[in-house]
A and B are shown apart, each in its own frame.
Chain A
Amino acid sequence: MLTKRLIACFDIKNGMVTKAHKFQDNIDIDTAENVARRIYEDQIDEIIFYDITASFEKRKIDLETVRKVAKHVFVPFTVGGGIRNLDDMYEVLKAGAGKISIDSMAVRNPGIIREGAMAFGRQCIVLSMQVKRVEKTFRIPSGYEIAIDGARVFTGIDAVEWAKKGEELGAGEICVNSIDQDGTHSGYDIEITSLISRNVNIPVIASGGAGKPEHVAEVFTKTGASAAIISSMLYSPRMDRNYSVKEIKDKLVEYKIPVRPWIENYNI
């Protein structure tokens, strides 16, 4: 049986993992390489790494950090931030990433999803979307609007429509990040995660809001999400306590959610 995935997500700035609250007030944790190595050894299922300022500073992604992380991580590794075209995608894959996450750039130029899928296979392309709860209107029937550029710019695009379009254009997965829940540690946005997973037939990743293992269990129980992003609860110094991957998986097992079993000896 295909198991539900736990994905550790890191924001990277100048080669360091940094933790923000509502996209502000960053605290540096450690080097990307060290954090990635620790979480890999903690048996995480997958890792995503966003070069958070690449897009904003209009520079290319930090390939050196991608290379360093890829040398130590033997689980799927996705990279996002500052990817503008096929050449950027190829550079990131060559540096050792397995998938590419595109967000604001896909809204500006949806063709990049199709181009990326044609060139590298749709499994390589993760369409990441920042969604904000808004009033339901004729233009935004789902009540969730897509924002871009670090959730600073609103697009007038309906989240469910965008997810369906992303699938049609060739995205292999859709990551739904709730702007409202992000940094609150109060649980995922169940409504939009459920809505999008019912409307597409590709895997959906829930993101934003996880603060304790019960939140992860909730999103897997109440929505069709295939994977959940966890971040603060793993390593943020702002949290009352952090959780190991094993603690989270033990909780999921209690809820009868299928997960990759814990391996006693994780050394080679």
Chain B
Amino acid sequence: MLRMVLFLNPVNSSCERSVFMIGVIDYKAGNAPSVLNALHKLNVPSELISSPRDISTVKGIILPGVGSAGATMDSLRKMGFLDVLEEKVLNDGVPFLGICIGLQILFDHSEEGDTECLGWIPGNVRRFPEDKVRVPQIGWNEVKFIRNHAVISGLNESEFFYFVNSYYVTSANEEVVLARTQYGVDFCSMISYKNIFGAQFHIEKSGVMGLRLLKNFSMIAEGVLC
């Protein structure tokens, strides 16, 4: 199997670390505590963010997600996150990682509850074909990376990650697709576009490979990996 060759510099700048912080958006329906546990395991400075005010100081943003696209959009809207996220991620270029529903709402529209989403990435969110597969998909499935990127440093061309989803994203722009997976259909399981990353699988629940991906994202956010 082809190993991605990209060696990482160890993080050694302790003075920088004191101001570096990853913010995990906590909108009460998500899996934010699990993501925070994983970041703590990696010794990445991180905190839960439940108010748009607190987002201004963070160097990286993670939007976790479980539940439905509609409920997630409603929560983000009610908590006042929509404008500030757009400003930080689209204007200021703060590295952003969406997980599961956090990936899906980046697209234009989701079939789930006919939900208008953020529209940062052109494309839609569709339901798995129930006549072919059990829905939801639950379990470890193969993720095939179709191009290289710093965020997947140290990972093989194909790795297994833990999925829990009834819906999948279809990108209108093939260039954003970083990985693909098979489940009844061949779907996009990870994207990268400039400072925006998204994974359909649960990075925080995918054992050591998930932790490596999370570490890479944190290093990108910190500016030590690019």
Q: Which residues of A contact B (CB under 8 A)?
A: 1-5, 40, 43, 45, 70-72, 74-77, 90, 93-96, 98, 119-124, 172-173, 201-203, 226-227, 260-261, 263, 265-268
Contact = CB atoms under 8 A, between A and B. Distances in A.
A263 B138 contact: no
B185 interface: no
Across the A-B interface, give the 6 residue pairs with the lowest CB-CB distance, nearest first. Answer: A121-B67, A260-B140, A123-B164, A260-B160, A268-B211, A2-B141
26 contacts: A2-B137, A2-B183, A5-B138, A5-B139, A45-B139, A45-B162, A71-B40, A71-B41, A74-B41, A74-B206, A74-B210, A75-B162, A75-B207, A90-B28, A93-B31, A93-B33, A98-B66, A120-B29, A123-B164, A123-B166, A124-B66, A172-B136, A201-B130, A203-B138, A260-B160, A265-B208
Nearest to A71: B37
Interface of B: 28-29, 31, 33-34, 37-38, 40-42, 66-68, 71, 130, 133-142, 160, 162-166, 182-183, 202, 204-212, 215
Contact of B140 (A2, A77, A95, A202): A2
B43 to A, nearest CB: 10
A120 B130 CA distance: 22
Contacts of B133: 2
Contacts of A3: 139-142, 160
A5 B139 CA distance: 7
A82 B33 CA distance: 21
Contacts of A202: 134-136
B212 to A, nearest CB: 6
A2 to B, nearest CB: 5
A202 B134 CA distance: 5
Given A120-B67, A123-B164, A172-B138, A74 B29 contact: no
B140 A268 contact: no
Contacts of A201: 130, 134-135
Which of A3, A120, A124, A260 counts the most B-chain CB atoms under 10 A from its CB? A260
